[in-house]
Amino acid sequence: MESTRGKIYITRRLPKEVTSRLQEVFDCKWWDHEDVPVPRELLLQEIKTADGLLSMVTDRIDSELLDAAPRLRAVSNMAVGYDNIQVEEAKKRNVIVCNTPDVLTETTADLTVALLLATSRRLEESAIFLKNDEWKSWSPFLLAGLDVHHKTLGIIGLGRIGQAVARRAFGFGMKVLYYNRHRRMAEEQSLGVEYRDLESLLRESDFVCVLTPLTADTYHLISERELSQMKPTAVLINTARGPVVDEVALYTALKNNQIWAAGLDVFDREPVRASHPLVHLPNVLALPHIGSATVDTRMAMANLAVDNLILALTGKEPKYRVC
Ligand code: NAP
């Protein structure tokens, strides 16, 4: 006899302690690989019978997929960003969309600051220098970098993660500027951050961190013009989403030393290969999208995605609902 329980499809292998919580309530199937995304054709097949989907940033949830999913009532994305989901299309079909903010805020802020320190103090170059046995003598300006302390940090997108980065920056005695579409008067008071329009922020900052979501408005928010407004000694950090920065313009700016360096956790099209032009520049530190990648935080995100899905499919309000 066919089960009357709801059906869930999970697009990656997750730890058993996470999936078992879903299995208590639903019939679950999953793509049993951790490192490879579920093939599109298989997802289009599996979604036909699913009431709920637990998705990753690597899954494209678009009208084609939603049209193939007559029973689908909820998509729970294991990420705070949901640029992989056509939210308006989900809304039209009364499909609930959930995400996992907050639990990854501090971890992603840590990584953002790690990139800021590593690029300014040339940590990757220095470590490679040593591993290549090139260290022959102490010398006055050997691998000399930039100071971070007491410099000016510009945060583009002072949301949850942006504020967590600001709190860390104050520990380094930095002055913190921010640019958002809306001023945050409460945070200006409580944190001591100062609002600037985008151009002023770019002109005044020694470090610029991009922390907006990827939307139609933020696509290529940082392009040739914005890069030309930055100081030649400025460092750009992108831990948001790759397409917020125009990679071709960034490559040119870095190659011509129009800006000092960049720290990138995200790229236009991921995964990037080692042959990607930006990865090879000596003034770029490139990471494979590991902003929230600590064991504790990934477990928290997975558990929150499960909570959201259970709540949404049992007629209750999910903890974090996009639509
Ligand atoms: P959040 O709390 O929603 O903050 C986003 C901020 O961006 C808000 O302050 C928002 O303010 C601002 N913003 C939105 N559109 C803007 C625009 N057009 N121009 C200027 N500012 C704009 O989000 P969060 O939790 O901090 O996360 C931010 C993003 O980080 C996520 O969406 C995700 O893509 C990325 N992320 C990456 C990783 C990673 O692994 N690298 C991990 C976690 C998150 P206004 O609405 O006032 O403009």
- Expressed in angstroms and rounded, the spacing between residue 33 Cα and the centre of ligand 1 is 29
Homologous superfamily assigned to 105-286: NAD(P)-binding Rossmann-like Domain (3.40.50.720)
> Angle CA(264)–CA(164)–CA(305) in degrees, nearest 5?
80
- Expressed in angstroms and rounded, the spacing between residue 145 Cα and the centre of ligand 1 is 29
How does the average pLDDT of the chain come out, rounded? Answer: 97
Which pLDDT score is estimated for 96? Answer: 98
Which pLDDT score is estimated for 179? Answer: 98
For the chain, the helix, strand and coil percentages under 3-state DSSP, each to the nearest 5? 35, 15, 45
Residues 133-164: tens digit of each pLDDT: 999 999 999 999 999 999 999 999 999 999 99
Which pLDDT score is estimated for 4? Answer: 85
What kind of fold does domain 7-103+296-313 have according to CATH? Rossmann fold (3.40.50)
User: Which residue among 56, 80, 322 has the greatest number of ligand 1 atoms within 8 angstroms of its CB, and so is best to mutate?
Assistant: 80
% of the chain residues with pLDDT over 90: 98
pTM as predicted:
0.98
- Expressed in angstroms and rounded, the spacing between residue 32 Cα and the centre of ligand 1 is 31
CA 102 distance to own-chain centroid: 13
Residues 188-211: tens digit of each pLDDT: 999 999 999 999 999 999 999 999
Same CATH fold, 105-286 and 7-103+296-313?
yes
- Expressed in angstroms and rounded, the spacing between residue 8 Cα and the centre of ligand 1 is 29
Which of 17, 199, 270, 317 is catalytic? The answer is 270
- Expressed in angstroms and rounded, the spacing between residue 213 Cα and the centre of ligand 1 is 4
Q: Average of pLDDT values for 38-50?
A: 98
Distance CA 285, CA 266 (A): 11
By the 10 Å C-beta count (0-12 exposed, 13-18 middle, 19+ buried), 274 is classed as: exposed
Which pLDDT score is estimated for 3? Answer: 80
User: Which residue among 107, 212, 217, 298 has the greatest number of ligand 1 atoms within 8 angstroms of its CB, and so is best to mutate?
Assistant: 212
Distance CA 277, CA 266 (A): 14
Joined together, the tokens standing for residue 25 give: 């309530």
Q: Does 125 qualify as catalytic in the annotation?
A: no
Q: Does 241 qualify as catalytic in the annotation?
A: yes
The greatest distance separating any two alpha carbons of the chain, rounded to the nearest whole angstrom, comes to 78
Q: Which helix (H) or strand (E) holds 186?
A: helix 185-190
**Integer angstrom CA distances of residue 225 from 11, 256, 264, 312:** 39, 15, 19, 44
Flag whether pLDDT at 2 surpasses 90. Answer: no
Please list, residue by residue across 27-58, b when 16 or more beta carbons sit within 10 angstroms of its beta carbon and e when fewer do.
Answer: bbebbeeeeeebeeeebeebbeebbbbbbbbe
Q: Does 270 qualify as catalytic in the annotation?
A: yes
Which of 241, 247, 276, 298 is catalytic? The answer is 241
What residues does each domain of the chain span? Answer: 7-103+296-313, 105-286
- Is residue 162 in contact with ligand 1, taking CB distance under 6 Å? yes
Which residue is closest in CA terms to ligand 1's atom 33?
Answer: 81
- Is residue 266 in contact with ligand 1, taking CB distance under 6 Å? yes
Flag whether pLDDT at 1 surpasses 90. Answer: no
Q: Average of pLDDT values for 256-266?
A: 98
Which pLDDT score is estimated for 262? Answer: 98
